[in-house]
A = this chain, B = another copy of it.
Amino acid sequence: MASQAADRPEPVATSRRSKLTPEREQEFFDAVLQQIRSCGYDAVTMEGIAASTRCSKSTLYRQWKTKPQFVAAALRSSSRVRFAGIDTGSLAEDLRRAAAAAGEGTGKDTGLLQALGHAVMEDPELKCALREALVEPEIAALREILARGVARGEVPAGHPALEYVPAQLFGMLRMRPVLEGKQADAEYLVTFVEAVVLPALGLP
């Protein structure tokens, strides 16, 4: 599982305010995000997290002041931009890749977005963390892809369908489970891109 890097002998640098290794912290984060995905934000309890990670509530409250702050930290730590690095030189192909990439992680980010839905309205820090960790990086990467396509002249600048592309991709990801009860997997999303997004942009 863990590589040799896990038990490094060196004292890292000077000292650590916490004896928790970053790997251990990540266990907490994974656990809380997993539980949020499966049970919703309100149903997740600090006691539950402590139990499932075999740490104590004290440890959680020592590191993070409150439950929302803990969750916010977990969100920030799991930031992983899925659309980064897609650049095939063709907008159509880039969009297919992006759709496939979005489909791969289905049930992770999507589930979080769903589960945190309204909890986010009450705690501004949570809201901010969610946007920074999950929403904005992906949107920015996607707009980057589109901008390159425009720069290459594949689509005229200001094409009316352009601004809707990110919302559409996320929308499909989000709505299919609701409407059809199935996850929006890579195949489904790629087909969607080819059937709708590319034609709307005037691409082959």
* A residues adjacent to B (C-beta < 8 A): 39-43, 113-115, 117-119, 121-122, 135, 139, 160-161, 164, 166-168, 170-172, 174-176, 178-180, 191-192, 194-197, 199-200, 202
Question: Could you tell me the distance in whole angstroms from the C-beta of A159 to the nearest C-beta in chain B?
Answer: 8
- In the complex, the answer to whether B114 meets A179 with C-beta atoms within 8 Å is no
A113-B179 CB under 8 A given contacts A43-B122, A167-B172, A172-B168 = no
Question: Could you tell me the distance in whole angstroms from the C-beta of A143 to the nearest C-beta in chain B?
Answer: 11
- In the complex, the answer to whether B172 meets A176 with C-beta atoms within 8 Å is no
Question: Could you tell me the distance in whole angstroms from the C-beta of A55 to the nearest C-beta in chain B?
Answer: 25
Report which of B118, B164, B200 forms a contact with A115, defined as CB distance below 8 A. B118
A171-B167 CB under 8 A given contacts A178-B113, A195-B200 = yes
How far is it, in angstroms, between the C-alpha of A41 and the C-alpha of B117 when the chains are bound? 11
**Most central of A160, A161, A196 by chain B CB within 10 Å:** A196
- Neighbouring B residues of A161 by C-beta, 8 Å: 195-196, 199
Question: Could you tell me the distance in whole angstroms from the C-beta of A114 to the nearest C-beta in chain B?
Answer: 5
Question: Could you tell me the distance in whole angstroms from the C-beta of A49 to the nearest C-beta in chain B?
Answer: 17
A191-B160 CB under 8 A given contacts A167-B172, A178-B135, A200-B200 = yes
